[in-house]
Structure formats: structure tokens, C-alpha cells
Structure 1
Amino acid sequence: MSGRARAAALVAVLALVLLPWTGAVPAGAAGRPSVEVSTSQAGTGGSVTVSGSGWRAHALLMMLVCGQSSPSQGVIGGTNSCANAQGRAVTTDAKGGFSKKLPVAEPPVPCPCVIHVATVTGATASADAVFHVAGHAVKPLPAEPAAGRLSVLTETRLDGSSGLLTWFGAPPSRRLVFTVGNAGSGPVRNPVFQVGVAHGVFAPQWDDQEWRGTLAPGGKAEIGLPVGLSAGAHGDYTVSLRYAGRTLAEQPWGVGRPWGVTLFWVLLCVVVPAAVFRAGMAVVDRLRPRRRPGRSTGPAGHRGPRLPELTLRLPRFGAAPEKAPPAPTLPWFTPESDPGAAGRLSAPHHDHPAGPTGATGPTGPTAPTSPTSPTAPTRKGPT
């Protein structure tokens, strides 16, 4: 077998081996979501089965019937051109596919119409399938300008973070950053974008913002536009970017609750009653009547004469009797001023022989004379 024949046989074997693997790859696995419908036309009141593949696993999607749209230009009027009330939500499986019935309803604008499927949370992704609502008006799409045509090339993001003031209710602010490219045949000078912020199911409020610059055909540029909310805003928001009536991108924005405001009101409910209570007590203390000096020192509010306190002592059985306290000595009568004692001291005394210690008496000069001792006999003098 020649070398060429061997190479051809090897290529055939490799093709047979790899063919089942290539055939098993689902459509849209390269990161391009796709949408298909069971029928291309249905009337109001009917339903159509919508299936898709290539989406993120376990992603939440929204399906809508939109007018004035095409797969190439997208939904020109945004969600305002869709039958939002009859929309349906669906969640993809582990492989990124889904299939669900969607009721057919007339959109608020004429056809051409599409079945528009877009992600609700996470990275923005969308896909459209051509669909005609039977009996609904049809109006041609507006002609695209001959000048440049802008499209978003990369996923949008919100730059910035919340500070301390935002925690206390200051308006949250971010910067919407995206990269656009000029897919038209002419330059685009100073394009005016529309940035809208929607909360929940409400429609976004659009704000015109001009970007100063020029985009040549085939050129691209990174643009950042400011986005802000009102003071105290919190919850889940959606930031939308629109240019020339076409929605270019949508970006979810979760804003935390300003807990500083809640803390402020809690402290206010505690501090204000405490301050009022202290002020009231100060007023009561100032208006309360004061006790005059020299009056009774009894308890507050007692203005009558205070009675002496009586103490009743009961004897204790088995205890030694208490000694009676000595009788108090009157200030005008002392032992030195007793007239009887003075007379006794002035009575004559006989001399006694001196004792061995030289004392003048049997007990010394300092021995007191007892009034109960026997009186010594007196000698009679010559008569």
C-alpha cells in the first residue's frame, strides 16, 4: 500500500471515530443561544411551543411576543413593543435547553413580530424567532440610517461601589461601562445614548446622555455612562442601554438596603424618650417645694411636730441583770459644794502620831473622812 493510500485510510478512520462526538454537540453550545417555534403563525387566543438551546444552565428566561422587530435589528422599541402581560417565564435545564408553550397575544405595535427570549438575571443574553400574529396589523420597519450603526460588542458591567453615605440613605450611583462598534458604512459623531433604570415590572425611565467622540466605520470604543438612583433606593433594578430606538444591552443591579437609616430611627426612638424623661424630672425637681431651715427634720411632707421616739426594751430570760446607769450629777450641785461635806471638813481633828512613812494620820493626809465612821472622842479643855 502506497503512502497516500495509508494517509487516506487513517483520515477515514479518524472521521469515523470523531463523527459521533461532533454530532452529539447540541446546537448553540458555542455560547450562542437559539430559539425555535413550533409554528410561524398563530392567531390571538392560541398558543405556540417555544424551545431553545445554548443557554446557561438553570437560567431564568422571559418569553414575549414583540412587534416592530426582526432577528437582525432586534426589538426596536424595547419591551414597550411587547405583550408583557401574556409573557411567560421558563428555566433552562442542566444542558441549557428549554421547551414551553406561550399564549399568542397582539403586541401594542404592528408587526413584523418575533418571539423574544431574554435572560432575567445574570449575564445578558437574548434571541429572537420570526413569528406572525394572524389578523394583526403589519407596518414596515423604519429604514436604517445610511450612516454608522452602533452595536454592543462585549457584555456591559457596572463599575463602582457603595460608600458609608449610601449605607445611610445617600443616592446609589454606578458607571455603566460597555464597548460599542460601528457596523455601518459611515462615521458616528457624538452619539446620544439613552440609559434607563427599571425597578421590578415597571418601565424604565430614560435619560439622554451624549458621548463626545467619533467612531469610524469598523471602529470600536469603550464608553462609560453614569447611572444613579434616588435616595434610599434598594432592591433589584435593571439598567438598560438604548440607541436610535434600539435596546443594545440590559444589566441587572442589586442595591442593598440602607440599614443606617433603620439604625438611626431605632436610636431616635430610644434617645428622644430618654431626653424627654430627663427634662420632665428636671422640671419636677425645680417645682418641688423646699424645706425651710429650722423646721422639723422629719420625713418629706411631714410638717407637724415630731413626737419623741420610744424604745421598749424587754428583759431577756437567763441573762445577767443590767446595771443601772449612774445618776447624772446636776450642774449646780457638786460634791465640793455640798454644805454637809464642808461642815465635816471644817471640824477639828486630833493629831495622830506619824506613821512609819511620815504620814500625819493612820492612812495619810489624802485619806478621806467617811461620814459613817465613828466620831473620835474629844478632850475637854480646862473649864
Structure 2
Amino acid sequence: MLAALLSALLLTAPGVHADGRAAADPEPAVTLSDKQAGKGGEITVKGGGWRPGTLLMMLICGQSTPARGVIGGTNSCANADGRAVTTDKKGAFAKKLPVAEPPVPCPCVVHVATVTGEQALADAVFVVAGHPVSPLPKQSGEGKLAVLAAPRLEGDSGILTWFGAPPSRRLVFTVGNLGSAPVKDPVFRVGSAHGVYAPQWDERQWRGTVEPGFKARIELPVELTAGAHGDYRISLKYGTKVLAEQPWGVGRPWGVTLFWILLCLVVPAAVFRIGMAVVDKVRPRPAHAGSRRGRRSAPRAGATVRLAGLRRTPAPAADPAPATGALPWFTPDSAPSEHRPSTKGHS
């Protein structure tokens, strides 16, 4: 069991002091019951601020300080006398650790690191009584980073990208320090190339330290220009060496195409209607147009009278009045008089 844990530690033990966790999360910490003890003794290691239910490995390592970490990786530690411990629900633990002499001289630390899951570590200064002490090796160069796993692009495009917003992703990869000096806050260069064109490089700094013999998971933001589409190639460079390349197929922003199609249809129609309205306003009117329109609109009196006559019920004819004038065949002297005596019957 211990051998398996040590093998896992060699594969996954981190040398990273990074800002990967949220600012509100507590930093992992380690405290010791004694700062000094001799070989064969025992100390109690306590910790807090770890993730709950995490498997940890505790080792006594030489040629190490909390500032520079474990120089040389776990090859500088007393691996056979290491102990495994699992944190409780609050991310704390307490475990006894036997004191053993590491294979290299002190200064020494008690090194606690995660075995599985997200990488995290903490070191506490410890003196192994009677063990040789020698100065730490001088740092030389900037270390040597190599990509241990193929990079990948993570993340999705939002709805705004469909309308021409800049596509963005996260370039995720794992690097290992193959040199003899730690690499602190390395500056990478991320390049994006479209088609056969040369890549355009942008600097991205990762906050953290990769100790010699350790590895770290790194995420760098990648963003293209607005409206970008087609086949792109994302390159990762550290120093003068290209570490990896990753293809990226970006879809066309069809929302922009739809917008231009609608614009080509709506704008000409609107301009045509505005132009027709202006022409109708400014064109001259004939002089007789107003009077003709007036005649057309005014009702005709005769028609109204005729219509009224048609609707009126005819009145019964009245008796003709007696004529006041004399008839032409009578004269005033020849008109009969009722007072004149008749000569008929007079003998």
C-alpha cells in the first residue's frame, strides 16, 4: 500500500504555489508538535485549510525550504518512512510521523502534498538532530519546462459570438520542470494563426512556482478578434521554444450575415417610401384641380330637389277657383240678369 502511494506521489506530487483556488478559500497549512527530533523519534503533524476528504502524503525531505520547495523532488525525501492521511469534513488532519533521515543533507522540511485531485502542498521547517547540513545549491538558469500532456481548449462560446463577439477559450495543459532550478511566475506566449498566415503572439503570465521534478496544471486565456471564423491554430511558446500546438475550428457568426440581409431588404424599402412621400409633398398642383375637386365634392341642388320631389307624396288636386274675369263670349250688357223679367209666356 505504501509503495503504491509513493508511486502516485512521484507521478502527481505538485511543486506549485499558485492562485488556482478562490481568494476566499484558506491556504493549506501544516504545524508540527516539535521543530527538532532525532532519528527514531516521532512527531505529530497537524494541518488545516485542505479540501475535505483529500488523501495526503507526509514526508521528511532534505535540501528543502518552504520558500524554494523540495529541491530534487521526492528523491530528496525519506520515502520509506512516509505516512498517508485523509482530511476530515473540515479539511483538517492530525497524524504521527516517524522521524527518519532523508538521503540528502538538511535543511529539512516536513513536506505534505495531495496524492489525488487538485494539486496542493505545504511545507514546515524541521531539524533532524544529528543529520548533516549543507548549503542549498545555487539557482542557475530558469529551469526547463516541458509539456507533459497534450493541450486542450476548454470553454464554450456565448450567444454574442453568433453576432460577431470575439471567440474565447482556455488553453489547458500540464508542464513539468525538467531542470535543476524552480520556475517562478513563468511567462508564456500564446499565438493564434489563421490559415497559412504566421501566428500573432500575446504574452500570458501564470502565477505560481514549478519546482524541479514537479509538474503543474496551467490555464491560459485565448481570445480571437471580433468576427473571427474558420480554421485557426493555437501555439504555445515558452522562451524561444514552441511547446505545443492545438487546432481550433471557429464557426461563422451567422447572426451578422442575417443582420446584413435584413438591412439590405429594409433600408431600400424605407428609402423608397420616404422618397415617394417627399415627391408627393413637393410636386406642383394644377390650378383647376381645386375647383374641379370642389365641383365634384359639392352636391348638386337640382338632383337634391328632384330626389326630394320623388320622395314627396303628391297632394290631392284642389277645385279650381272661379274665374273672376268675363268670358270672351259674354259682354257686360248681354249677361243675363236674374232681376230682368222674362218675356216668355207674356202674351
Judge same fold: TM > 0.5, yes or no. Answer: no
TM-score interval for Structure 1 and Structure 2 normalised by the shorter chain: 0.3 to 0.5
| Structure whose residues are more often strand by fraction | 2
Of structures 1 and 2, the one with the larger relative CO (CA 8 A, separation 6+) is 2
